[in-house]
Amino acid sequence: MKMNQEKGVVFLTALVALGIACFGVVCTLVQSLWLTPIVVMGLIFFILILLTNKGHFAHKIESLEKVFFIITFLVIVVSFILLYKPI
């Protein structure tokens, strides 16, 4: 019973990621191309979330999580450096 609930949650989460991508497409068409990364990230999340239902792929996702954490940390550090650099 618990496994079915987990698959349901994963499926609903994937639908949310797909919704983010669809909403991003609409916003991109209406506003500007600056919102295009939201669409790309939503589609990537949708694919990755659906692939977590596969058995061994969950371990690969955990490894990717560590890599993306480091990348996010570096982006934040670089953005603070660029934001507060002397003029």
pLDDT in tens, 28-84: 777 766 667 777 777 787 777 777 777 677 677 777 778 888 888 998 898 888 888
pLDDT score at 62: 72
Q: Give which of 45, 40, 76, 38 is closest to 61, Cα–Cα.
A: 45
* 35: Cβ contacts below 8 Å, ≥ 6 apart: 24, 27, 28
- 5 & 47 share domain: yes
Task: Give the global pTM.
Answer: 0.48
The pLDDT value recorded for residue 65 is 76
Question: Are both 48 and 68 inside the same structural domain?
Answer: no
Same domain, 37 and 66: no
Domain count, the chain: 2
If asked whether residues 15 and 27 sit together in one domain, one would say: yes
Q: What is the pLDDT, as a whole number, of residue 56?
A: 74
Same domain, 46 and 61: no
Same domain, 37 and 70: no
Q: pLDDT per residue over 2-33, tens digit each?
A: 556 666 777 777 777 777 777 777 777 777 66
